[in-house]
């Protein structure tokens, strides 16, 4: 499983790098290298931690994005999200090529901090929730239960909350103000997925209704 994790993570970084560098037309783009190093380092650290502490969750995260028990609407969502992500990376690369915008050094540093916060929140989520599969589905074979510890004490979808940091931090670290333009749509998409996921959880996971009444907010404490 370690070999598979290293291969898939390396492939992911290679694809992201190819999109960015081809769109930018310059493989020496320093912000892109900094971005890939930070994302890659975070991904490998979390994955190696999972390999040691929760190999079942790592296997779930490495599984096919399409699963037999996955909700059909989520398959469509994930396909659309993949296309949107590729387009987003290409937009940021084109911004670097044509100089449409340029985020200053302080904004790039802020972007690196936001990405790091995302990685920490993802790790905290994995630490407490062994059922954090990438697909919207009930893992009856693993005895899925409601998680109320760790970051789940504050929001019902801490991984989605962490993704907000990633969506904001990535274009900043890459020096692109234009890369922030699609972020509200990405956040709205995550919100819609969270609502759909909760409908499933309320119907199919015992105790989720009670948990949702105790923890009022989905993504951002005090907001929504």
CATH code where residue 43 lies? 1.20.120.1630
Work out the number of other CB atoms within 10 angstroms of the CB of residue 102. Answer: 12
**DSSP H or E run through 4:** helix 2-24
Q: Look up residue 219 and give its DSSP letter.
A: S
According to the model, what pLDDT value does residue 69 have? Answer: 85
pLDDT tens for 20-36 read: 999 999 999 999 999 99
Is residue 219 situated within a structural domain? no
Residue 142 has pLDDT above 90, yes or no: no
Which pTM was predicted? 0.93
Contact of 156 with 211, CB cutoff 8 Å: yes
Lowest-pLDDT range, 114-118, 135-139, 180-184? 135-139
The residue to which tokens 């333009």 are assigned: 181
Model confidence over 148-193: pLDDT tens digits?
A: 999 999 999 999 999 999 999 999 999 999 999 999 999 999 999 9
Distance CA 22, CA 72 (A): 34
* Average pLDDT rounded to a whole number, residues 197-211: 94
Whats the size of the chain, residue-wise?
Answer: 224
Q: Which domain holds residue 91?
A: 2-214
Q: In the numeric block, which tokens belong to residue 117? A: 């916060």
117 in a domain, yes or no? yes
Token digits of residue 24 = 């930018």
In a domain, 222, yes or no: no
For residues 39 and 44, give the distance between their C-alpha atoms in angstroms, rounded to a whole number.
9
Q: Is 220 among the domain residues? A: no
Of 24, 20, 192, the C-alpha closest to 100 is: 24
Q: How far apart are CA 138 and CA 198, in angstroms?
A: 11
Residue 94 in any domain: the answer is: yes
Q: Quote the longest CA-to-CA distance of the chain.
A: 53
Tally the domains of the chain.
1
Neighbours of 167 (CB within 10 A): 23
Instruction: Kindly report the backbone phi and psi dihedral angles of residue 191, in degrees, each rounded to the nearest multiple of 5, phi listed first.
Output: -60, -40
Structural domain includes residue 195: yes
Residue that is written with structure tokens 């999200």 in the block: 81
Answer yes or no: is 223 within a domain. no
pLDDT band at residue 199 using 50, 70 and 90 as cut-offs? very high
Pick the residue with more confidence: 66 or 36?
Answer: 36
């Amino acid at each position: 499983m370690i070999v598979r994790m290293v291969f898939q993570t390396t492939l992911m970084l290679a694809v992201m790098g190819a999109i960015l560098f081809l769109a930018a037309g310059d493989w020496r783009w320093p912000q892109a290298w900094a971005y890939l190093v930070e994302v890659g380092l975070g991904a490998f650290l979390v994955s190696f931690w999972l390999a040691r502490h929760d190999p079942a969750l790592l296997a779930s995260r490495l599984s096919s994005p399409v699963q037999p028990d996955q909700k059909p609407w989520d398959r469509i969502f994930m396909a659309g999200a993949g296309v949107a992500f590729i387009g987003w990376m290409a937009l940021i690369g084109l911004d670097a090529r044509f100089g449409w915008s340029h985020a200053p050094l302080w904004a790039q540093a802020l972007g690196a901090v936001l990405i790091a916060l995302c990685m920490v929140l993802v790790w905290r989520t994995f630490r407490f929730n062994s059922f954090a599969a990438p697909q919207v589905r009930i893992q009856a074979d693993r005895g899925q239960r409601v998680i109320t510890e760790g970051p789940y004490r504050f929001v019902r979808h801490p991984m989605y909350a962490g993704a907000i940091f990633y969506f904001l931090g990535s274009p900043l670290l890459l020096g692109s103000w234009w890369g922030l333009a699609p972020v509200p749509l990405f956040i709205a998409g995550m919100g819609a997925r969270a609502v759909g996921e909760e409908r499933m959880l309320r119907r199919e996971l015992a105790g989720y209704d009670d948990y949702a009444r105790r923890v009022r907010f989905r993504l951002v404490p005090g907001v929504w």
